[in-house]
Structure 1
Amino acid sequence: MDRGRVEAFSDGVIAIIITIMVLELRPPHMADLAELRSVLPAFLAYVLSFIYLGIYWSNHHHMLHVVNTVTGPILWANLHLLFWLSLIPFATAWMGEHPLSTAPVALYGAVLFLSAMAWSILSSLLVRHEGPDSALAKAFGSDIKGKASLIAYALGIAAAFFLPLLSLALYIAVATVWLVPDRRIERVLNIS
């Protein structure tokens, strides 16, 4: 099966997720600049989630760029990833309304953790499909950054029960690490 359809479908789903997320932002009730403070937590949650979705979209594009075909299990793994990503707007809205509350911050972390697990499954299947000597296998290597992210998300979920601000700091730190473009595939293929 051609990878183009998977990439196009995923692009569309991520675009819809971002659209749903921005529609959750509500303007202040009063026409006063000081009222913007009341929506600041929701806006900041949106910014963080937008960055995460952008990271997934960009890395998904790069990963599929080196793959020619996909299999049924890869299609399901991709849907599994899109499922968890589709929950980001819900988790974002709840955390935006209750930015330092345990349950919303823990749920946000859980969605990030499960999205990262789904990414790991998808990338593993693609590497296996392409083979151990493929450009994709060489690009991913041991994926220390991905494994460290999973640990940080797990710590963030646990910290939400004691210090939600630490959780948010961990989620922001992981996004910051991934915001620096992942050039592994570009280096292996020598593309820009």
Structure 2
Amino acid sequence: MSKNRLEAFSDGVIAILITIMVLELHKPDGSSWSALRQQLPTLLAYVLSFVYIGIYWNNHHHLLATVRRVSGVSLWANQHLLFWLSLVPFITDWMSETDFAVVPVAAYGIVLLAAAVAFFLLQGTLLRVEGPDSTLATAIGRDRKGKLSPVLYVTGIALTFVDRWLGIVCYVIVALVWLVPDPRLERVLTSAGSDD
């Protein structure tokens, strides 16, 4: 089946998630820098989560640009990914409202880990449809980043119980790893002549 409806639906959901997150930002109580400083935990949590949602949107776009069709299983795998991403605004708000307390920071890591696993499962369902000699298979290659991320999430979740900021540092490292553009998919898409 065509991938167009899956792309359109996913784009809409991700746009709504970003909108929900920005609506959780409240204006400072005053016009001074110190008033803004009171909102700093919320702003920092928002920035980190916005970066994560952006990373998933970019990777989702590139992933689907390499495939020609999707299966029914792929549709459910995509819904699974969107489910975990839909929890990001909730968990971001909880984490920021509690000033990065231990349990919310650990729960944030669990949501990020689950989203990473869901993305990996989506990628696997698309690989089954496209085959081992497909553009997607070539682009993914050994997927070092994809294998490193869950390890860093689990490490971050565990370290949160030692010091919550160590957990946050692990989550930031994963974001930075993915924030640097991944040339694999773009290189393969460029050589294949895709306009997506």
TM-score by length of 1: 0.96
Partner of 2:79: 79
| CA distance in structure 2 between the partners assigned to 1:115 and 1:107 by the alignment | 12
The aligned residue for residue 7 of structure 1 is: 7
Task: Give the deviation of 1:189 after TM superposition.
Answer: 2.8
**How far does the alpha carbon of each residue in 1:36-80 deviate from its partner, in whole angstroms, 9 at most, with x for none?**
111001001000000000000011001101111111100000000
Mapping 1:30-179, distance limit 5 Å:
30-179=30-179
Q: How many residues align?
A: 192
1:147, CA displacement in angstroms? 1.0
State the AA in 2 paired with 1:145. K
1:118-139 residue CA offsets vs partner (Å, 9 max, x unmatched)? 0000001111110001110011
Cα pair 1:63 1:136 within 8 Å, conserved: yes
Q: Please give the alpha-carbon distance, in whole angstroms, between the structure 2 residues aligned to 1:121 and 1:87.
A: 18
Deviations 1:97-141 (A, max 9, x none): 223311110010000000000000000111111000111001111
Give the C-alpha shift of residue 33 in structure 1. 2.7
In structure 2, what is the Cα distance between the partners aligned to 1:99 and 1:149?
A: 25
- The code of the aligned residue for 2:45 comes to A
Counterpart AA for 2:135? A
Output the CA distance in 2 between the equivalents of 1:99 and 1:144: 33
CA distance, structure 2, for counterparts of residue 168 and residue 154 of structure 1: 12
Identity of aligned residues (%): 57
Residues 156 and 170 in structure 1, CA contact (< 8 A), matched pair in contact too: yes
Corresponding letter in the other structure for 1:151: V
Deviations 1:67-96 (A, max 9, x none): 111111000000000000000001111111
Q: Which moved more, 1:138-147 or 1:83-92?
A: 138-147
Could you tell me which runs of 5 or more consecutive residues in structure 1 were left unpaired when the two chains were aligned: none
Q: In the alignment, is the contact (CA less than 8 A) between 2:28 and 2:35 conserved in 1?
A: yes
CA distance in 2 between counterparts of 1:189 and 1:9 reads 22
Structure 1 counterpart SS, 2:156: helix
SS of aligned partner of 1:181: coil
TM-score, normalisation: structure 2: 0.95
SS of the equivalent of 2:34 reads: helix
Partner secondary structure for residue 111 of structure 1:
helix
Partner SS, residue 182 of structure 2? coil
In the alignment, is the contact (CA less than 8 A) between 1:99 and 1:105 conserved in 2? no
